[in-house]
Amino acid sequence: MKIFGKNAVLEAIKSGATIDKLIVKKGLKDGASQRIIDEAKAAGIRVSFLEKEVLDKEAGSPVHQGFVAEVTDFNYCTLDDILNKAKGAARPPFILLLDGIEDPHNLGSILRVAECAGVDGVVIPRHRSASINSTVIKVSAGASANILVAKVVNISDAIEYLKKSGVWIYACDMDGQSVYKTNLKGAIGLVIGGEDKGVGKRARGLCDGAVSIPMKGKTGSLNASVATGVVVFEKLRQEIL
């Protein structure tokens, strides 16, 4: 799998990801670029300096900021790994479950939001969902290297498992109670629906409740990653007050 962009490549290096090779555009002299090169060499990564045209071809896009890395496939975790991470930190688990996020740009943005908000892990289904690929890693600005992602057979089974583990599950749904009037403290799982269909009927029926974001405009809905940001940072606000 190939990743590209300064932030994505730097975070992959810092996280200890297995990087088979790193291609850097010839002539980069800025401090940020030199830091990445130094980090790569210190980690024993082979660095090749090539012309921009070669990087364009390797990345399949001219938007690579002069860095293209080839890494081993993304390592997904289990639900228990996510729960154990929270347990090890002596805090209630905070988990996102993505029900049908098919746009890799949305997935990448959600991972970035989740990592910034201190979410313990993100759960995606095996089917009808974007997977972690080079686009997701690029859009996440390196966050994908610092957050646990579990890939499960289906979201409904994951909801039931987490509920048995003491996690209270909320669906993000237009018919839910205002997120600003909902107590989000403690062990929480938030189910985010797909771009077009929202949270699936079966998954919605398994949730303990639902939260919504009050709207004043005529559009009536937010992009999935933006909505995720609103809800997860409201939980963070409640936890730190």
Domain ranges of the chain: 2-71, 79-240
Q: Dmax of the chain from CA atoms?
A: 57
Tell whether the model's pLDDT for residue 222 goes beyond 90.
no
pTM for the full model?
0.78
Tell whether the model's pLDDT for residue 190 goes beyond 90.
yes
Tell which wins on pLDDT, 100 or 229. Answer: 229
**What is the predicted pLDDT for the residue at 15?**
79
- Domain 2-71 class, CATH top level: alpha beta
**What is the predicted pLDDT for the residue at 37?**
94
Reported as a pLDDT band with limits 50, 70 and 90, residue 105 is: very high
In this structure, whether the domain defined by 79-240 belongs to CATH 3.40.1280.10 is answered with yes
Reported as a pLDDT band with limits 50, 70 and 90, residue 127 is: confident
**CB contact at 8 A, 143 and 111:** yes
Residues 96-114, mean pLDDT to the nearest whole number: 94
**What is the predicted pLDDT for the residue at 74?**
81
Tell whether the model's pLDDT for residue 132 goes beyond 80.
yes
Reported as a pLDDT band with limits 50, 70 and 90, residue 99 is: very high
Tell whether the model's pLDDT for residue 198 goes beyond 90.
no
Which value, in Å, is the radius of gyration of the alpha carbons in the chain? 19
Residues 206-222, mean pLDDT to the nearest whole number: 89
Residues 5-19, mean pLDDT to the nearest whole number: 86
Structure tokens at 1: 């799998």
